[in-house]
Structure 1
Amino acid sequence: MSTPGHLIWRLSTKWRVAVDRALAPAGLTHAQYVFLSSLFGLERAGANPSQRELADHTGLEALYVSKLARTLDAEGLVERTRDPADTRTVRLRLTTRGREVTEPAIATVAELLDRLLAPLGGRRGERTAALTRELTLLLDNPLES
């Protein structure tokens, strides 16, 4: 019998591979998608996030977010600007092209998520809502003693 940790690892790996495959035609990796879709959502909510804020939001390492930001900036999907109030802070913004790439990618991943969650009743099913609450509880529980 598998342990919960093993099952979480396997599901996480399965999901990452599935997203990578689904977004390959768009030229995006799973990590780039997480960056872009998170930035898209934060901007829609009225935020102008820094690299650090995006790292905190996504759970990605700050150094990795910085590397992704440079790559996506070079590809014309993101603009990086220094914050005038604190020049150590780099602010991020999707470009028009970045939005054009991100919106269909979000739709692609939503369809993939529908397929993944079908056994639980889909994205809006009660079992999915219960799973979401349980996973959130585990993510919010600090591992440090």
Structure 2
Amino acid sequence: MSMGSPGHTPGFLVWRLANKWRVAVDRAVAPLGLTHAQYSLLASLYGMQRAGERPSQRRLADHTGLEALYVSKLARALEAAGLIERTRDPRDPRAVQLALTEPGQAVVRQAIAVVQELLERLLEPLGGLDAPGTRAFTDELTTLLDVPLAPSVPNDQSTQRTTP
């Protein structure tokens, strides 16, 4: 049965696609000693460094969409593996800045090539990476990602029960 069968909601399909992508990237980067989350952090850091930025953990969390606490945990593991360095921001002693080490740069360049090849393969049904269908799909995903989440309201009266 195709995952595009009638009855599947867009939310279910997005969830399935995100899980499929995560598993595919996990498998692709495992030979390099990375997980999908580590790859996401390293590749984002690589791009930000190439743009001249030395981001804080918070900035990298905002960029990747990962929770700040999770980024901190990943950063510590990547530092222990010798792939990144964490230093205190001289302008804000509470902030930790991240930078790729030379071995980290080598690993992330390999990982980016592997993930790019995976992306090319997975996008073949849409016509490939540079196809109009892929560009339209990317635009639609971007539109959905740009919709802000409604803030949670801890004391929302509409969700609380009242006692008589």
TM-score, structure 2 normalization: 0.87
Out of 19, 22, 25, the position equivalent to 1:16 is 22
Out of 59, 81, 90, the position equivalent to 1:84 is 90
Task: Identify the residue that residue 71 of structure 2 maps to in structure 1.
Answer: 65
Out of 52, 59, 63, the position equivalent to 1:46 is 52
Out of 132, 137, 146, the position equivalent to 1:140 is 146
Structure 2 runs not aligned, ≥5 long: 1-5, 152-164
Structure 1 runs not aligned, ≥5 long: none
User: What per-residue deviation string (whole Å, max 9, x for no partner) do you get for residues 24-79 of structure 1?
Assistant: 11110000000000000000111110000000000000000000010000110000
How far the C-alpha of 1:8 sits from its partner, in A, is 0.5
User: What per-residue deviation string (whole Å, max 9, x for no partner) do you get for residues 91-118 of structure 1?
Assistant: 0000000001100100000000001101
Which of structure 1's runs of 4+ aligned residues deviate more than 4 A?
none
Identity %: 66
Given residue 57 of structure 1, which amino acid in structure 2 is its aligned partner?
Answer: H
Report the Cα distance in structure 2 between the residues aligned to 1:92 and 1:144, rounded to whole angstroms. Answer: 30
Q: Is 1:5 matched with 2:5?
A: no
Q: Is 1:129 matched with 2:135?
A: yes
Task: Identify the residue that residue 31 of structure 1 maps to in structure 2.
Answer: 37
Given residue 126 of structure 2, which amino acid in structure 1 is its aligned partner?
Answer: L
Higher helix share: 1
Report the Cα distance in structure 2 between the residues aligned to 1:42 and 1:32, rounded to whole angstroms. Answer: 15
Out of 92, 101, 108, the position equivalent to 1:95 is 101
Report the Cα distance in structure 2 between the residues aligned to 1:38 and 1:120, rounded to whole angstroms. Answer: 25
